[in-house]
Structure 1
């Protein structure tokens, strides 16, 4: 009986997630019909809550752990609370981004609970803190207008934070990634990438001449080189690609983009020659099965998991995700593919793509060049990080050790991504207000234009009355 319930719920979740993913793109057909859009968003929320309930019901039936029920209820309260705050205080926020964020968080907690209840509980506690901070960001963006003035503050703080990791960071899988503060491990590169985007946007907002581009490139190179020295090559690649995209969009010069790609290729060859762990990852990527007992074990287990799951998956609690090393952080996509299936995993990718499309849409519609570049830079960070993660676990590219935003286990990654979504929501609200302001200004101008016309008409009428009265007086005088 339990097996039948698990299998039935698996197919139901796949079907519902397919509908949800379709609605992510179908909603754009009704841009001029807000009521129809709101109906779609409400349907998406219903699907998200049902998938969340169904998954935790299956986990409870398979584990018989009563704590799972209480954990599910706490998550439900958090998700409903987030929606209520947005609907009360941020009525102009993007409903699609809000729904996608909650869906990705729900999937994360489902698969983490399946892998390790303790890790899922820690992730949930960090999620609460991240939610509080991210909900304040749209207000801060509306109240403060001086973000473009902190150009060198962004650079100094970012370089200092990365330098601390280079000097005193803990080594993890051959790279210095994090520092420990009061027993809490923090990965500064996750937060510095946001400051990095703000720095580049501020510089390019001021000017795009050769001198400004040279200064921007030097400071960006300092960030990247520190990451390379720390052997955090995944983050270094992420930073470099973000810089390249922002430079190209700001200048619209293809030569800069082509030159950047050439430099990236040379840097990749140099990294392969200089760092042994890079050579190991490349060899494991080329032929993981030939070294399955050593360097190729992780990627081989990832491919076995994805292949075993097939299109429809084995069902929650039916696979062996813990056989993949570091599955909760770097290879969580493989665990999702194994137990929920390839179709579910493809839908997950498409939800991430719909988030990226929203980032680009906001960037294109922003009138302020600074915020336009910020939205573009953050969108590039998000999309390329998703690409690096999924590309690594599917053997499309060598593994880079980058987490899947909002889904993978990791406090720094979760907090930085929720801050990123908070910034994008703030920019979306700002864009909506900019769209309303021209309409109100035009209405005011028309009203002002009408008032003088009325006054002129009244003056004519009054003038005619006065001339008639004067004529009567003259007639009386003549009669006298």
Structure 2
């Protein structure tokens, strides 16, 4: 068994490396035949990686429920590949496969950490993939959906205010709503979608100084609502997304500089206003000096990453469950410990590949609404990855955000899949220009 675990560990690393290589190759190749060959290799790597991971878990647990879960996941992956390409032949095959590969990584590591949570995550992600089937068709009706910018903004603020008054607290932040005491959801994930639609819609209509002031005020209320919830990681993601969307819409570097300066000042103020921010900064500066309390989580994360080394301990061979909230905020540490530093590096490269694809779609879009929409979601996606990985490896203080498509969290995985499918819808439409030429920027 030890030999098998050791071999599968290296096989999973090789498969992930091969997948990452072909992902970048497909991103730069213009020849369709070359891209199709890379896509075939990527598809094979997804299913072989997924099989190897579950094989490793099964030989150690011999649980028939693992076989059932594996079979259901394979079925969903196959259906996703088939139905998306049948319904929308023009979508990005690279982005679709990257999404499924990241989901596969999440399925395996969550099954290792908590089987019950893995089952819940699977069913939620399967439903999200089903929901994603209609998203590109909705995006195609952009002339209709772009008209409701004010509604998106007000609805997002309303949801956040609702959470402030009747939300439940977890890990120091009041960011969850309990529905009939059965299901707990995080409305912030839905507000992410509404927030980007709100800004893209209003800035695509006009970018007068009056419009900028009004939109900035509403965006500020949204960010402040998150601050009152003590969801400072979410507030930071919203703020950075708005600053870059404002810069893209106006093309004025002054707005970018003022926004970044205001963000730095707000972070400094938050340090003195919120005790849990002080705790996280303290843990970041000297985790081992406060290992018994404030620095315990980050210390355990660093121990896990160091223990895993370059090649990892192998699935079920480490102690990732000793890290608090390991299945969501600190899942990157669990991956590094059991699958290795090289695997973690390939995972980061895969996220970078996704970000490059998203940004390219935004840049190539001729429609102003689509361009702002794709840019906003690209920045939101990329910055969340930076905060999640940076907090785990002690590059920055921990902000308590999930790793997209990999971490446990139903609300997070649904919003991320919908976000990516919105951008797929933009790519699928060929970025058609708006009918209102006068409102389009050159």
**TM-score, normalised to structure 2's length?**
0.96
SS of 2:174 mapped into structure 1: strand
| 2:236 equivalent to 1:237 | yes
Question: Residue 358 of structure 2 aligns with which residue?
Answer: 359
- Structure 1 position 24, deviation (Å): 1.3
CA distance, structure 1, for counterparts of residue 306 and residue 430 of structure 2: 44
SS of 1:402 mapped into structure 2: coil
Question: Residue 446 of structure 1 aligns with which residue?
Answer: none
Question: Residue 393 of structure 2 aligns with which residue?
Answer: 394
Question: Does the 8 Å contact 1:365/1:431 carry over to 2?
Answer: no
- Structure 1 position 35, deviation (Å): 1.4
CA distance, structure 1, for counterparts of residue 134 and residue 207 of structure 2: 32
- Structure 1 position 177, deviation (Å): 1.0
Gaps of 5+ in 2: 434-442
Q: How does 1:114-153 map to 2 (within 5 A)?
A: 114-143=112-141, 145-153=143-151
| 2:63 equivalent to 1:65 | yes
CA distance, structure 1, for counterparts of residue 254 and residue 146 of structure 2: 27
What CA deviation, in whole Å up to 9, does each residue of 1:130-170 have, x standing for no partner?
A: 11111110111224531110011101110000001111111
- Structure 1 position 171, deviation (Å): 1.1
Question: Residue 171 of structure 1 aligns with which residue?
Answer: 169
Question: Does the 8 Å contact 2:405/2:413 carry over to 1?
Answer: yes
Report the structure, 1 or 2, having the larger helix content: 1
| 2:30 equivalent to 1:16 | no
Question: Does the 8 Å contact 2:113/2:327 carry over to 1?
Answer: yes
Question: Residue 5 of structure 2 aligns with which residue?
Answer: 6
What CA deviation, in whole Å up to 9, does each residue of 1:353-398 have, x standing for no partner?
A: 1111111111111111011000000001100000000000000010
Question: Does the 8 Å contact 2:384/2:402 carry over to 1?
Answer: yes
- Structure 1 position 401, deviation (Å): 0.5
CA distance, structure 1, for counterparts of residue 125 and residue 26 of structure 2: 28
RMSD between aligned residues: 1.0
What CA deviation, in whole Å up to 9, does each residue of 1:259-308 have, x standing for no partner?
A: 11111111111111011011001100000001101010000000000000
CA distance, structure 2, for counterparts of residue 144 and residue 274 of structure 1: 42
SS of 1:177 mapped into structure 2: strand
SS of 2:133 mapped into structure 1: helix
Question: Residue 380 of structure 1 aligns with which residue?
Answer: 379
CA distance, structure 1, for counterparts of residue 23 and residue 404 of structure 2: 18
Question: Residue 94 of structure 2 aligns with which residue?
Answer: 96
Are residues 154 and 302 of structure 1, via their aligned partners in 2, closer, same or farther at CA, if it must alter by over 3 Å?
A: same
CA distance, structure 2, for counterparts of residue 39 and residue 163 of structure 1: 50
- Structure 1 position 433, deviation (Å): 7.0
Which segment drifts farther, 51-60 or 18-27? 18-27
Question: Does the 8 Å contact 2:241/2:376 carry over to 1?
Answer: yes
CA distance, structure 2, for counterparts of residue 419 and residue 28 of structure 1: 22
CA distance, structure 1, for counterparts of residue 152 and residue 85 of structure 2: 32
Question: Does the 8 Å contact 1:362/1:431 carry over to 2?
Answer: no
SS of 2:134 mapped into structure 1: helix
Q: How does 1:31-430 map to 2 (within 5 A)?
A: 31=30, 33-143=31-141, 145-182=143-180, 183-430=182-429
CA distance, structure 2, for counterparts of residue 27 and residue 287 of structure 1: 43
Question: Does the 8 Å contact 1:281/1:399 carry over to 2?
Answer: yes
CA distance, structure 1, for counterparts of residue 403 and residue 27 of structure 2: 26
**TM-score, normalised to structure 1's length?**
0.89
SS of 1:312 mapped into structure 2: coil
Gaps of 5+ in 1: 435-480
Question: Does the 8 Å contact 2:226/2:234 carry over to 1?
Answer: yes
Question: Does the 8 Å contact 1:158/1:196 carry over to 2?
Answer: yes
CA distance, structure 2, for counterparts of residue 36 and residue 86 of structure 1: 21
Question: Does the 8 Å contact 2:16/2:346 carry over to 1?
Answer: yes
Question: Does the 8 Å contact 1:336/1:345 carry over to 2?
Answer: yes
SS of 2:326 mapped into structure 1: coil
SS of 1:150 mapped into structure 2: helix
Question: Residue 456 of structure 1 aligns with which residue?
Answer: none
- Structure 1 position 88, deviation (Å): 1.3
CA distance, structure 2, for counterparts of residue 228 and residue 87 of structure 1: 41
Which segment drifts farther, 249-258 or 99-108? 249-258
Larger Rg: 1
Question: Residue 30 of structure 1 aligns with which residue?
Answer: 29
What CA deviation, in whole Å up to 9, does each residue of 1:207-262 have, x standing for no partner?
A: 11211111111010000011111111000000000000011111111111111111
CA distance, structure 2, for counterparts of residue 108 and residue 159 of structure 1: 31
- Structure 1 position 429, deviation (Å): 0.1
Are residues 376 and 432 of structure 1, via their aligned partners in 2, closer, same or farther at CA, if it must alter by over 3 Å?
A: closer
- Structure 1 position 432, deviation (Å): 6.7
- Structure 1 position 29, deviation (Å): 3.5
CA distance, structure 2, for counterparts of residue 49 and residue 209 of structure 1: 51
CA distance, structure 2, for counterparts of residue 13 and residue 378 of structure 1: 30
